[in-house]
């Protein structure tokens, strides 16, 4: 329906748009482009929150719904400002088209809508794009640090075998989902290659958002595949009996030290986690419903 192609042109960034928005006007195309950037940015921030939440639940108690809502809103504000600043810095399409055509005289842009930013150094534009580019590497480092801490916590704590397995399955789901947004790095590389004129090609320019689109495509697929309640709901929707397609029986258990066991088929979001500390002088058993 919509296809956006950023075209770096010196200090100018043009955005060639095709699809239904062509018939709705120039502004609708740019609005769709800013929304796409906004959701990509927010999905990355939420991924960090998911890992931090899982680690917090293992250390402390399950946060209250109001606390969760506050955290979600807090993580939403950076991507909200990013979208607003992109929209604020929307320059006249005619000016952007002229500058893009000067830098790329061989491009055929007659049948597309061209929006964008005349000068990337303007504060709203610079802030919006730096907010997307800068947090990627630190964010991934934080995700992997949290993942290692979660695994270490699970290894050093005494858990009931079935609860350990369910925690490991959720950790696996989050780990796989953390690898999917790695496409953002390729998207950033493609953008920088075009911006610094290392390679000027429509393929490189299209790859900037093409890599980023892979994230919302594969994220729900892996969520359904790795998280049992989602998988069973989808199977029922398409007429399959989840009991006939179980990867692992419900009553099966996995020894705490068994690292070769299956991680699929027995995850239940409504399970009660019981954690007993090995290092404490006292035995503390906390019952937590992490997805109530």
The answer to whether the beta carbons of residues 236 and 242 sit under 8 Å apart is yes
Pairing of strands 157-159, 273-277: antiparallel
How large is the greatest C-alpha to C-alpha distance in the chain, in angstroms? Answer: 75
State which residues of the chain have pLDDT below 70. Answer: 1, 246-292
The predicted structure's pLDDT at residue 246 = 64
Domain count, the chain: 1
CA 41/CA 281 separation, integer angstroms = 44
The answer to whether the beta carbons of residues 270 and 289 sit under 8 Å apart is yes
The predicted structure's pLDDT at residue 156 = 76
The predicted structure's pLDDT at residue 285 = 39
Measured torsion, CA atoms of residues 201, 83, 139, 263, in degrees rounded to the nearest 10: -90
CA 243/CA 254 separation, integer angstroms = 20
The predicted structure's pLDDT at residue 1 = 56
Helix (H, G, I), strand (E, B) or coil at 19: strand
CA-CA distances (angstroms) from residue 129 to 117, 136, 215, 233?
11, 12, 18, 38
Strands of 12-19's sheet, edge to edge? Answer: 2-9, 12-19, 113-117
Q: Could you tell me the CATH number of the domain that includes residue 140? A: 1.20.1070.10
CA 28/CA 20 separation, integer angstroms = 9
Give the pLDDT confidence of 114-126 residue by residue, as tens digits. 999 999 999 989 9
The predicted structure's pLDDT at residue 292 = 38
The predicted structure's pLDDT at residue 60 = 72
Tell the burial category of 7 from Cβ atoms under 10 Å away from its Cβ (0-12, 13-18, 19+): buried
- Domain assignment of residue 195, given as a range: 2-288
Phi and psi at 251, nearest 5°, equal -90, 5
What sign results for the dihedral spanned by CA atoms 27, 32, 37, 38? positive
CA 106/CA 93 separation, integer angstroms = 19
Task: State the DSSP H helix or E strand holding residue 136, giving kind and residue range, or none if neither.
Answer: helix 136-156
């Amino acid at each position: 329906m919509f296809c956006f192609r950023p075209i770096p042109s010196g200090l100018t960034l043009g955005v060639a748009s095709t699809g239904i928005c062509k018939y709705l006007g120039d502004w609708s195309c740019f609005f769709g482009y800013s929304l796409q950037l906004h959701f990509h940015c927010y999905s990355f921030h939420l991924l960090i929150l998911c890992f931090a939440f899982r680690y917090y639940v293992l250390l402390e108690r399950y946060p209250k719904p109001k606390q969760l809502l506050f955290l979600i809103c807090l993580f939403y504000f950076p991507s909200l400002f990013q979208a607003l600043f992109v929209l604020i810095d929307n320059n006249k399409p005619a000016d952007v088209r002229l500058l893009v055509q000067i830098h790329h005289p061989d491009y055929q842009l007659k049948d597309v809508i061209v929006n964008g930013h005349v000068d990337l150094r303007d504060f709203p534009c610079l802030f919006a794009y730096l907010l997307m580019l800068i947090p990627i590497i630190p964010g991934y480092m934080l995700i992997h640090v949290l993942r290692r801490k979660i695994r270490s916590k699970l290894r050093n704590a005494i858990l009931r075998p079935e609860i350990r397995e369910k925690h490991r399955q959720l950790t696996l789901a989050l780990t796989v989902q953390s690898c999917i947004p790695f496409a953002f790095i390729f998207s950033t590389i493609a953008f920088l290659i075009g911006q610094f004129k290392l390679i000027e090609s429509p393929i490189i320019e299209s790859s900037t958002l093409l890599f980023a689109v892979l994230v919302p495509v594969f994220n729900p697929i892996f969520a359904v595949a790795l998280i049992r309640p989602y998988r069973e709901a989808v199977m029922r929707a398409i007429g399959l009996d989840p009991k006939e397609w179980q990867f692992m029986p419900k009553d099966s258990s996995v020894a705490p030290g068994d690292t070769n066991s299956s991680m699929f088929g027995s995850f239940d979001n409504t399970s009660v986690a019981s954690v007993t500390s090995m290092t404490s002088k006292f035995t503390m058993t906390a019952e937590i419903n992490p997805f109530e």
